C-alpha cells in the first residue's frame, strides 16, 4: 500500500495526518505553499484540477454556482470511510451526495430549493436505461397537442411546446396522485435539464445555458438578433439521449439516503451525531438571482419561485449570522471527531475573504478550525493567499475552511 493511501486511511482518525498531507502535497508538480494568517494555517496548492480525469457522467446536469466533483471526492476519500454518512446542507445539483454514493458512503442532502431535490434524488439508485425507455414509450406523446402558455413559443416550436406542456401535466398529475416513481422522477430531472440551452441537445431554440433562463422578452430579442425561429425537436429522443449519457459510467447506488428541503439550520430529521463528514458551499453574498435564473424550471416542476426562501445577504454581518446558525446545526449532527469542509470561493474580486467569517462563526461552537485550503489552479509561485483572485491572471481557486467536531 503506498504512502498516500495510508494517509487517507488514517486521516479520519487524526487531523494531524491530513494536515501533514496537505503541507507536503505535490501531486501536480508544485509544493504546497503554507502561510500563517491571524493564527490560522493556509495550505495553497493545486489539490485537484481540471486536468484530472473527467468526473463520473452522472454529475453532468447543469446548475449554477456548483463545484466540481473532485472537491468533495478529495475530502470523502480522506475524511470518511465506506458506510459513513456524508452530507451537504446546500446540495445544489447534488454533487456531494452523488459523489458520496459513488464512493460507497451514505448520501444525505438538503436544500431549501425544491429543484435541488428534483435534480439529486433520481440520480441515487436510478432506473435502468431499459426502464427509462419503456416509460418514455408509455407516455401518450400523441395526445399532447394543445398549448396553454403561448408566450413560451419564443423558446419552442409549437409541437415541442405542446409536448413539454403535456409531459409537465402528466408528471404533475402522477405526483398529485402519489404515483410518481423513480423512473418518472428521472424523466422529470432530465427534462428540467433540457428545457433551454444553446445546442440541438435541448428542447429550445438557441438561448443561454440551461441554468440561466432568460425572460420571454429577452428571448424574443435574441431570436430577432440571430434571425432564428424555434426548431422542431424530438423531446423523448433528447431525454433518451441524455439518459444514456448520464448512465454511461454506471449508476450511483446507496443502501440508504436522506434528502430534505429545509433551511440549513432546521434539519431535525437528521439525528444527533449521525454525520461523519459535511462537504458544502453555502450561498455567498447576494450574487445569484434565483427567481430570474430558475423561473422556467420552477414552472415545469410546479413550484412558485417567489416562495422559495433562498438565503441572500447583502452584509457580511448578516452572512456571518447565517453561517453561525448553519454551523450550530452541523455541530449537532456531526459525530465527535467528524469533519466539515466549508467552501466559500471568492467574492467581490477577492477583496472579501469569507473564510475569516466562517472561522469567526465557528469560534463559539464545539468546532475546531484545522486550517484553510486554497485549491489554486494554474498555480504560480508569486501568488499568495491574499492575492489569489478567481478568473484573473489565469487563476481559479476554491477556499475551504476545514473544521473538526470536538470530541
DSSP 3-state assignment of 34? Answer: strand
The DSSP secondary structure of 42-100, one letter per residue, reads: EEEE-SS-TTSPPPPGGG----TTPPPTHHHHHHHHHH--TT-EEEETT-TTTHHHHHH
CATH number of 3-114+253-293+308-405: 3.40.50.150
Residue 209 has what pLDDT?
80
Residue 2 has what pLDDT?
44
**Alpha-carbon gap, residue 266 to 313, rounded angstroms:** 18
145 Cβ contact partners less than 8 Å away, ≥ 6 residues apart: 162, 166
The model's pTM: 0.91
Q: What is the 3-state secondary structure of 301-356?
A: HCCCHHHCCCCCCCCHHHHHHHHHHHHHHHHHHEEEEEEEEEECCCEHHHCECHHH
* Cell of residue 86, nine digits: 456524508
Count of beta carbons in the 10 Å neighbourhood of residue 165:
20
Alpha helix segments (H runs only) across 111-234:
114-120, 129-138, 158-176, 182-193, 216-226
β partners of residue 371: 402
**Alpha-carbon gap, residue 290 to 331, rounded angstroms:** 28
Quick one: which of 46, 72, 75 has its CA closest to 59? 72
DSSP 3-state assignment of 376? Answer: strand
β partners of residue 88: 109
Quick one: which of 170, 13, 171, 29 has its CA closest to 78? 13
Residue 8 has what pLDDT?
42
26 Cβ contact partners less than 8 Å away, ≥ 6 residues apart: 32, 45
Residue 10 has what pLDDT?
43
Q: What is the 3-state secondary structure of 256-310?
A: CCEEECCCCCCCCCCCCCCEEEEEECCCCCCCCCHHHHHHHHHHHHCCCHHHCCC
Residue 51 has what pLDDT?
58
Q: Which residues of the chain have pLDDT under 50?
A: 1-13, 379-395
Edge-to-edge strand order for the sheet containing 85-88?
A: 33-37, 40-45, 367-377, 396-405, 334-343, 275-280, 85-88, 106-110, 258-260
The residues spanned by each domain of the chain are: 3-114+253-293+308-405, 129-246
**Alpha-carbon gap, residue 124 to 403, rounded angstroms:** 27
Amino acid at each position: 500500500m503506498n504512502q498516500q493511501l495510508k494517509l487517507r486511511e488514517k486521516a479520519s482518525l487524526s487531523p494531524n495526518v491530513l494536515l501533514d498531507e496537505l503541507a507536503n502535497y505535490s501531486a501536480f508538480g508544485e509544493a504546497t505553499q503554507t502561510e500563517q494568517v491571524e493564527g490560522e494555517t493556509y495550505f495553497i496548492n493545486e489539490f485537484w484540477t481540471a486536468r484530472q480525469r473527467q468526473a463520473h457522467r452522472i454529475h453532468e446536469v447543469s446548475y449554477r454556482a456548483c463545484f466540481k466533483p473532485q472537491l468533495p471526492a478529495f475530502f470523502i476519500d480522506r475524511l470518511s470511510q465506506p458506510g459513513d454518512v456524508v452530507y451537504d446542507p446546500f446540495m445544489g445539483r447534488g454533487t456531494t451526495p452523488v459523489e458520496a454514493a459513488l464512493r460507497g458512503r451514505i448520501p444525505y442532502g438538503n436544500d431549501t430549493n425544491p429543484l435541488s431535490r428534483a435534480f439529486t434524488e433520481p440520480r441515487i439508485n436510478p432506473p435502468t436505461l431499459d426502464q427509462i425507455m419503456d416509460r418514455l414509450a408509455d407516455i401518450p406523446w400523441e395526445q399532447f397537442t394543445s398549448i396553454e402558455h403561448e408566450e413560451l413559443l419564443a423558446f419552442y416550436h409549437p409541437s415541442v411546446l405542446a409536448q413539454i406542456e403535456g409531459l409537465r401535466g402528466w408528471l404533475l398529475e402522477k405526483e398529485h396522485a402519489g404515483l410518481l416513481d423513480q423512473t418518472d422522477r428521472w424523466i422529470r430531472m432530465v427534462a428540467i435539464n433540457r428545457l433551454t440551452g444553446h445546442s440541438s441537445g435541448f428542447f429550445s431554440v438557441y438561448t443561454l445555458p440551461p441554468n440561466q433562463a432568460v425572460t420571454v422578452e429577452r428571448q424574443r430579442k435574441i431570436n430577432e438578433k440571430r434571425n432564428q425561429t424555434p426548431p422542431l425537436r424530438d423531446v423523448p429522443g433528447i431525454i433518451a439521449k441524455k439518459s444514456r449519457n448520464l448512465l454511461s459510467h454506471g449508476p450511483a447506488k446507496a443502501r440508504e439516503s436522506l434528502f430534505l428541503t429545509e433551511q440549513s439550520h432546521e434539519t431535525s430529521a437528521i439525528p444527533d451525531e449521525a454525520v461523519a463528514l459535511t462537504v458544502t458551499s453555502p450561498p455567498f453574498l447576494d450574487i445569484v438571482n434565483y427567481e430570474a435564473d430558475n423561473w422556467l424550471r420552477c414552472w415545469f416542476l410546479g413550484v412558485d419561485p417567489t416562495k422559495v426562501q433562498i438565503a441572500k445577504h447583502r452584509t457580511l454581518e448578516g452572512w456571518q449570522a447565517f453561517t453561525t446558525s448553519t454551523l450550530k446545526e452541523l455541530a449537532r449532527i456531526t459525530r465527535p471527531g467528524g469533519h466539515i469542509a466549508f467552501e466559500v470561493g471568492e467574492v467581490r474580486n477577492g477583496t472579501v475573504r469569507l473564510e475569516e467569517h466562517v472561522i469567526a462563526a465557528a469560534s463559539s461552537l464545539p468546532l475546531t478550525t484545522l486550517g484553510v485550503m486554497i485549491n489554486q489552479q494554474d498555480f504560480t509561485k508569486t501568488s499568495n493567499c491574499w492575492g489569489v483572485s478567481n478568473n484573473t491572471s489565469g487563476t481559479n481557486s476554491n477556499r475551504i475552511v476545514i473544521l473538526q467536531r470536538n470530541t
